[in-house]
Structure 1
Amino acid sequence: MTRILYVFLFFLLSTASFGQNQRQISFNEGWSFSLADELQFRREAYNDSKWKQVSLPHDWSILSDFGSQFPAGNAGGALPGGVGWYRKSFQVATKDKGQHISIHFGGAYRYTEVWINGQYLGKHTNGYLSFSHDLSPYLYYGGKTNVIAVRVDNSQQPNSRWYSGSGIYRDVYLRYQQQTHFFSEETFVSTPTVSAKKATVRIQSQVHNPGNKKLQVELRLLDATGKPVATGKVDLRTDKIDHTLTLDKPQLWDVDSPELYSLHMLVRDMQGNELNAQTQRVGIRSIAFDVERGFSLNGKPLKILGVCLHHDLGALGAAFNKSAAKRQLLMMKAMGVNAIRTAHNPPATEVLDLCDELGILVYNEAFDMWQKKKNKFDYSQDFKEHHLTDLAAFVKRDRNHPSVFMWSIGNEIREQFDSTGTVLTKEMANFVKALDNTRPVTAALTETNYVKNFIAQAEALDVLGFNYKFEDYDKLPKEFKNVPLIASETTSGLQTRGVYDALHDTIQFWPASSKDKFVTNGNADFTVSAYDNVAAYWGTSHERAWLEVKKRDFLAGIFVWTGFDYLGEPVPYPYPARSSYYGIVDLAGFPKDVYYMYQSEWTDKDVLHLLPHWNWKSGDIVDVWAYYNNADEVELFLNGKSLGKSSKTDDRLHAAWKVPFVAGEIKVVKYKNGRAVQEAVKRTAGAAAKLKTRITHDDFKTGDARDLYFVEVELIDEKGEAVLHEDIEISFQGSAGVEILGTDNGFQADLRGLSNPARKTFKGKALAIVRVGDAATTKTLLIKSKLGDITVPLEKNK
């Protein structure tokens, strides 16, 4: 099925700041249109006045209900693809004639073609990379209108192993520059020497210099207060810059204190006239890997505590929003994460900006496949022609981010099983190092035998990543001698928040083996128990995966699959399951219980988390767990009576009891040196009587007018206890200027479209994602349900 959309292109001018009302663009959609129509859409004279209004970033696929008829399948999120057309009319002032004006796309999925005033500018084939086009030769100036037309084609499906989204799903803006200007993609700032006493900052760049005029470049490095700490001048007689600044007692960038400097670059002619300026953030830090001791940052050993993250933002789909991304990253940081892996593609540049600011290392990944396909229409069909061009764009775009500490050229690449893997690995690893020799190059592998692993045999990778197969960890240093190692992907544990099935003695594997596409003995309601006791056959439990990495110093760290549930790849179930079960946090952003296991292991926060709920049938034998830290043991009480003490062991990272259910209260008390230091309680809840709301906004503000409000709703009984055993329909309605962008409840098989303002709670919880426009005055949200309507002021957290 082919889907065609018509949309006005909206872009952000780099020299201006726009209110929310100016971000509106026209939009229309349909299912089939003629070739003649498509030929008209690229013409500047076409009348697009009847098209609807949307805003960029934009993902048209997320606006649909989930369905089994879409060719992407449930692995691709059970949502449609198709073809989308975007158009935008704009004017350029006469005074700007002679400037170099280009349009920059942060990303569009998938095949993207661009026209300006009917002139074809080209086609971009990588759905995850940024790209630009020079508009200058074709622009009209003064009062005449220019028209940009963009065609985005995501009709060839399946083309991904997860939900890709469709459309111009990252920001677009115009860039105005003088004819003499810095090539931003050629600017590379590195820190060759770093110590607590002194650091050097190397600046390499290139200037577009028509006529080879004599120029002067001024360099100023400023600290976070704006104070200059190093300056330099370069007389430019070619177009290349290569200059080193030195500063004393640098403030180092690390995961606990991500100090950032600003490098101001200014080019002048010999008369002193300013021609162009560029500002680049700089983080001063050193990284190193050791075969025996793992990873170090600024000379200090650091165990990498990471998660893999896909690019979708839950109910927003692929449409990027910086505050939504910040929410995810801060939740991971609070759990103890110090690194993310961008699985399995380049992220939005704003994600890297956030990681720079928050102190999160980034394992930056380029490809999920090379020449050998994983899906019928995936990137393999473009790899041969475009992989080096795409690698260059990838590295040049991201190499100035201090958070990026490794380049990955592939994930579970099928060429690791034949000799083409050796050739391609050498080619790409050497190509990346020519562009950036300050970071190691890696790939995530599955074959743990050197003789059989042709990617490893290339001996071109600086670090080898291995996915799963923890039982082979101890043989890795023997098979792959003198190469640092990292657990690039682990776990694949499966959980549905708030669901607690009776425990088995061993881990259940759903599906059980590669012979089974789906689980054959799963739950009829498409849920998986939230006890850490179910995994895909290639994985293991969260506890086991972390224990295996924790005790091996030669493994630099771990990347858990995954930090958040994501759209698509709904192992272990077929449709109607439509999103993953792997996340430590569900799709709505509600933590699953295992979140607190990691927090108890990866942070010094005082953690005591008790599970499950305490609403059961009389006679049920309930497994009660407690995750904790900073204590010697914990004690469980049922209605005031002690049921004994329990503690972690060498192979168990939680306390555990089996308890016959009696209504009332269970309480766990944590002891340190014989003294009670913390307690947690679960009580038997009654019927749902009220809605409890929590609004988060300030924590996730980024300074963008598009920052969002996240409204969490929880069912509680008359006494204020959380209700997990009952769910109700609720709906959200904003006051004038308040827009409901999406709703969710975290259930992986809820088929209602995520843009719908109504949602049934799941295990007592639901979420609304809200945007407040410039024109909004009252800024309130009406939440309606059978329990009564409530009006929530958005400007106050509750």
Structure 2
Amino acid sequence: MIQIKNYLLLLFISLIAVVNSNAQSTVTRSTNFNNNWKFYLGEDKDAQGTAFNDAAWRTLNLPHDWSIELPFDKSSPTGTGGGALRGGVGWYRKTFVLPDMTKGQHVFIDFDGVYCNSEVFINGHSLGIRPNGYIGFRYELTPYLQYGNAKNVLAVKVNNDPQPNSRWYSGSGIYRNVWLVTTGNVFVDHWGTYISTPFIDDKFAKVQIQTAIKNVSDKKATIQIKHTIYDATNKVVAGSSSGAVQFNIEAGGVLKDSIFIPLPHPHLWSVNDPYLYKVETQITRNGKIEDRYTTTFGIRSCKFDVNDGFSLNGQHLKIRGVCMHHDLGCLGTAINTDAIERQLRILKEMGCNAIRTSHNPPAPELLELCDKMGFLVMDEAFDIWKKAKNPYDYHLSWDQWHIRDLQDQVQRDRNHPSVIIWSAGNEIPEQWGDSTDNSGTLISKELAATIQAMDSTRPIVTANNETASWNKLLVSGAFDITGYNYHHSEYADVLKKWPGKPFISTEAVSALQTRGSYDMPSDSIRRWPVRWDIPLTTGNADTTCSAYDNCSAPWGSTHEETMKVVEKYNHISGLFVWTGFDYIGEPTPYEWPARSAYFGIVDLAGFPKDVYYMYQSVWTNKTVLHLLPHWNWRTGDTIDVWAYYSNADEVELYLNGKSLGIRKKMGDDLHVVWKTIFEPGTLKAVSRKNGQIVKEETIKTAGAPAGIQLLTDKKSISPDGTSLAFISVQVVDKEGNPVPYAANDIQFTVSGEGFIAGVDNGSQTSMESFKANHRKAFNGKCLLVVQSKDKAGNIAIRATSSGLAAASLSIGVQ
């Protein structure tokens, strides 16, 4: 009864508060500041000064990754682990003017991420250095600005040296977005809102809004605060009073306010229905609006249970996730919303419902898309604590920066409904240590306390590759969930070793595959190399790994080996497969000339490998029937034919119309196999349920390469200078059949209102530039990425190759 009375009172306050003010003012504005920068690769004396002449420097738009533009280099100090692409020192400069009307306002510059060791200058004055390449940060420019016709110069020095400072490809430069922010004297502080929902039922949700409001003037300010909640259709559904309470903020002070607002009949956020609300926070002083600040949020409840795993909104849900590094293939690390959305769309189609941001704070755009598209997120902070993994990595900055970096990450990301777990570290060396080394325990407790002080609504985990009972992180008791990297054979009994805490596989599998390459016999599993610290002495001469699910790193497993365990036990909350996509760097099991990872379910260009369909058959309700390998072999060869299928009882295989037999999955098997003698022609699979045909798939022996097929993911893109279209390029024979061995060099001509942003083919060993106007097909395929200019029109694309019929495509820019 008390709860109902409180609800009615809050609802009454909410309804009378939803009024619009006619007061006028200049409120906080955030403007994209990416265009027309000058760039120079190398050190340049006095480049921070206003008098410096940068006329000879290159003009470009941000985000920008200079390393992806460089040639692959065996002697690069980054090593193949870093993608064999050099770092170095780079300078960026932007000249801008501010109108006189801007005087009296406060001007800030926000960087979403700069890799790494950035120093920012305004008109020759250093604003600070930020070592961490993954976290966003803000500086105030106001004291050093000039107005009217006077020019201001913003300069950024980026020092991605010395190397190695990363275990994977980091990219170099201002690779995330930059924003110019102007405010009045009183405004919502940077990342200044925190929204949680401590109570949810069918009738209402109690929305708690905590707000940090800053007064940067030299006088005390008296203000009113109003919050208005909008649903996904932009309809006002709840709010707070705009004038009932006044607050005083001392000069130079920060007010921290907290209020509960009832939201009737909440529409819950979920992976299948990612419903979002937004709240507008309005600050008024003396009848004048000082600031409006919008925060997007979702309403959902999450629970990790020791025995029953994970539940979302009271419904059991297996976390079916992948780990993702932050590079975008041929685009490098230069962030692009369309590119991230394409990756997530491909993963969503596979049945993936979760992303682990391995092993660093992600771009804001990734979390925004996860909110919108319905992905759960494990938001990870560190790959290194105080003990090093590389000579020049984050351990050098740990003492001075780790608390600030972690606080900034949590404060920035805690309003995202997609974020369900904080990860404080990955495979941290402090797991180990003798009886006198207690650093792992002490740091664990410090990090957990830091996160909990800023967000107590989500559990905290570390990703541990050591599972022994003396693991310093696990025995610290600091973390809410037990997290294992690999060790899938221990998942069944993990609760006996670590009782009382839920369990999740924070990283799993590490299978190795090259798209379109097959090693037989397929039932012989290759562990390459034999141990993590022993170089590979076997392997394939062409540096490929089998796309049958029969090759893995020694610390991992095949996909099917781990999948069987995770799907079997309810106490396993889920897993994050290493990895969703291939990424630049860490080319296990090989070294040079390999320069990209083999771990992905999807290759670097975004083309699914065969095992993608195994996941789709288990993780979705789709009717799946996928046949592998291709059907171009030598006559008389014995070929292993696999089929992944779902929603069927059996699959029958035909070769040139003759049945090769019916196969049914036995026990917990996730595929079926035939061994047959190759003869050219047509291979056909038919799946049936209750005797009725469910689906058919056909593969034909291809003839010689004869033509090119182009397929775009979008028929039109926006004229905003950043939108992308991804064009898949397939080499076909004269009948239109894909040619699985084709390696033709495809030339691209792009004209009109677009340009080539990148090319790729998914090969882990190709040394061709990602920024060229041509690309060799790899196992029959390559990729062209086209970017819009800033004017409406059309983009004309033509693909040619010697001896092949050309192909053309038109994309609208509108």
TM-score (norm 1): 0.95
Alpha-carbon deviations, 1:586-629, whole Å to 9, x = none?
00000000000000000011111111111110110100011110
Paired residue type of 2:86: P
The answer on whether the counterparts of 1:495 and 1:582 sit within 8 Å (CA) in structure 2 is yes
Alpha-carbon deviations, 1:465-503, whole Å to 9, x = none?
101011112331011110110011110000000011112
Alpha-carbon deviations, 1:440-465, whole Å to 9, x = none?
01110122222x11101110101111
Q: Structure 1 CA distance, aligned partners of 2:173 and 2:695?
A: 50
Alignment match, 1:10: none
Alignment match, 2:139: 133
Alignment match, 1:6: none
Alignment match, 2:509: 491
Going from structure 1 to structure 2, the CA distance change for 1:469 and 1:702 (only over 3 Å counts) comes to farther
Alignment match, 1:465: 483
Q: Structure 2 CA distance, aligned partners of 1:778 and 1:225?
A: 32
Give the one of 371, 383, 391 matched to 2:406: 391
> Does residue 1:212 correspond to 2:220, yes or no?
yes
The answer on whether the counterparts of 2:795 and 2:813 sit within 8 Å (CA) in structure 1 is no
The answer on whether the counterparts of 1:507 and 1:540 sit within 8 Å (CA) in structure 2 is no
Give the one of 614, 617, 626 matched to 1:597: 614
Alignment of 1:163-174 (within 5 A): 163-174=169-180
Give the one of 719, 739, 750 matched to 1:734: 750
Paired residue type of 1:752: E
Alpha-carbon deviations, 1:211-255, whole Å to 9, x = none?
332211111101111211111025323422100110121000000
Alignment of 1:512-551 (within 5 A): 512-517=530-535, 519-551=536-568
Give the one of 236, 241, 247 matched to 1:236: 247
For the residue of structure 2 that corresponds to 1:200, the secondary structure is strand
Going from structure 1 to structure 2, the CA distance change for 1:14 and 1:509 (only over 3 Å counts) comes to farther
> What displacement does 1:183 show?
0.7
The answer on whether the counterparts of 1:407 and 1:441 sit within 8 Å (CA) in structure 2 is yes
Q: Structure 2 CA distance, aligned partners of 1:704 and 1:654?
A: 45
The answer on whether the counterparts of 1:448 and 1:479 sit within 8 Å (CA) in structure 2 is no
Alignment match, 1:426: 445
Q: Structure 2 CA distance, aligned partners of 1:410 and 1:349?
A: 19
> What displacement does 1:375 show?
0.8
> Does residue 1:287 correspond to 2:302, yes or no?
yes
Q: Structure 1 CA distance, aligned partners of 2:399 and 2:800?
A: 54
Q: Structure 1 CA distance, aligned partners of 2:523 and 2:454?
A: 52
Alignment match, 1:251: 267
> Does residue 1:120 correspond to 2:120, yes or no?
no
Give the one of 310, 315, 318 matched to 2:330: 315
The answer on whether the counterparts of 2:650 and 2:688 sit within 8 Å (CA) in structure 1 is yes
Give the one of 25, 44, 57 matched to 2:37: 25
The answer on whether the counterparts of 2:718 and 2:813 sit within 8 Å (CA) in structure 1 is no
> Does residue 1:640 correspond to 2:652, yes or no?
no
Alignment of 1:167-182 (within 5 A): 167-182=173-188
Going from structure 1 to structure 2, the CA distance change for 1:623 and 1:340 (only over 3 Å counts) comes to same
Alignment match, 2:680: 663
> What displacement does 1:704 show?
5.6
Alignment of 1:298-377 (within 5 A): 298-377=313-392
The answer on whether the counterparts of 2:753 and 2:813 sit within 8 Å (CA) in structure 1 is no
> Does residue 1:479 correspond to 2:497, yes or no?
yes
Q: Structure 2 CA distance, aligned partners of 1:248 and 1:778?
A: 47
Q: Structure 1 CA distance, aligned partners of 2:813 and 2:297?
A: 36
Q: Structure 2 CA distance, aligned partners of 1:385 and 1:130?
A: 17
Q: Structure 1 CA distance, aligned partners of 2:281 and 2:770?
A: 45
> What displacement does 1:698 show?
6.0
> What displacement does 1:25 show?
3.0
Q: Structure 1 CA distance, aligned partners of 2:533 and 2:287?
A: 72
Paired residue type of 2:38: S
> What displacement does 1:15 show?
5.1
Going from structure 1 to structure 2, the CA distance change for 1:702 and 1:482 (only over 3 Å counts) comes to farther
Paired residue type of 1:391: L
Q: Structure 2 CA distance, aligned partners of 1:632 and 1:690?
A: 38
Alignment match, 1:7: none
Going from structure 1 to structure 2, the CA distance change for 1:492 and 1:742 (only over 3 Å counts) comes to same
Q: Structure 2 CA distance, aligned partners of 1:677 and 1:190?
A: 46
Alpha-carbon deviations, 1:560-603, whole Å to 9, x = none?
00000000000011101000000000000000000000000000
Going from structure 1 to structure 2, the CA distance change for 1:723 and 1:61 (only over 3 Å counts) comes to same
> What displacement does 1:656 show?
0.9
Give the one of 673, 677, 681 matched to 2:694: 677
Paired residue type of 1:790: A
Paired residue type of 2:246: D
The answer on whether the counterparts of 1:310 and 1:342 sit within 8 Å (CA) in structure 2 is yes
Give the one of 215, 225, 234 matched to 1:226: 234
The answer on whether the counterparts of 1:729 and 1:759 sit within 8 Å (CA) in structure 2 is yes
Alignment match, 2:12: none
Q: Structure 1 CA distance, aligned partners of 2:627 and 2:718?
A: 34
> What displacement does 1:186 show?
2.9
Give the one of 166, 185, 191 matched to 2:191: 185
Let me know the Cα RMSD of the aligned residues.
Answer: 1.7
For the residue of structure 1 that corresponds to 2:704, the secondary structure is coil
Alignment match, 1:761: 777
Q: Structure 2 CA distance, aligned partners of 1:735 and 1:702?
A: 16
> Does residue 1:42 correspond to 2:42, yes or no?
no
> What displacement does 1:425 show?
0.2
Q: Structure 1 CA distance, aligned partners of 2:329 and 2:29?
A: 28
> What displacement does 1:776 show?
6.4
Give the one of 361, 383, 403 matched to 2:418: 403
Paired residue type of 1:760: K
Q: Structure 1 CA distance, aligned partners of 2:492 and 2:788?
A: 54
Paired residue type of 2:240: G
> What displacement does 1:521 show?
1.2
Q: Structure 2 CA distance, aligned partners of 1:197 and 1:626?
A: 48
The answer on whether the counterparts of 1:730 and 1:758 sit within 8 Å (CA) in structure 2 is yes
Q: Structure 2 CA distance, aligned partners of 1:263 and 1:704?
A: 27
Paired residue type of 1:133: Y
Q: Structure 1 CA distance, aligned partners of 2:562 and 2:592?
A: 29
> What displacement does 1:155 show?
1.4
> What displacement does 1:385 show?
1.4
Q: Structure 2 CA distance, aligned partners of 1:49 and 1:727?
A: 42
Q: Structure 1 CA distance, aligned partners of 2:514 and 2:394?
A: 32
How high is the sequence identity, in percent, across the aligned residues?
47
Q: Which runs of 5+ in 2 are unaligned?
A: 1-27, 250-254
> What displacement does 1:702 show?
8.7
The answer on whether the counterparts of 2:31 and 2:179 sit within 8 Å (CA) in structure 1 is no
Q: Structure 2 CA distance, aligned partners of 1:695 and 1:152?
A: 36
> Does residue 1:749 correspond to 2:778, yes or no?
no
Paired residue type of 1:476: V
Q: Structure 2 CA distance, aligned partners of 1:713 and 1:377?
A: 40
Alignment match, 1:9: none
Q: Structure 1 CA distance, aligned partners of 2:562 and 2:157?
A: 44
Paired residue type of 1:422: T
More deviation, 302-311/237-246: 237-246
More deviation, 722-731/361-370: 722-731
Q: Structure 2 CA distance, aligned partners of 1:702 and 1:453?
A: 52
For the residue of structure 2 that corresponds to 1:789, the secondary structure is strand
Give the one of 86, 111, 133 matched to 2:92: 86
For the residue of structure 2 that corresponds to 1:465, the secondary structure is strand
> What displacement does 1:512 show?
1.0
Q: Structure 2 CA distance, aligned partners of 1:479 and 1:679?
A: 47
Alignment of 1:698-737 (within 5 A): 705-737=721-753
Alignment of 1:140-159 (within 5 A): 140-159=146-165
Alignment match, 2:457: 438
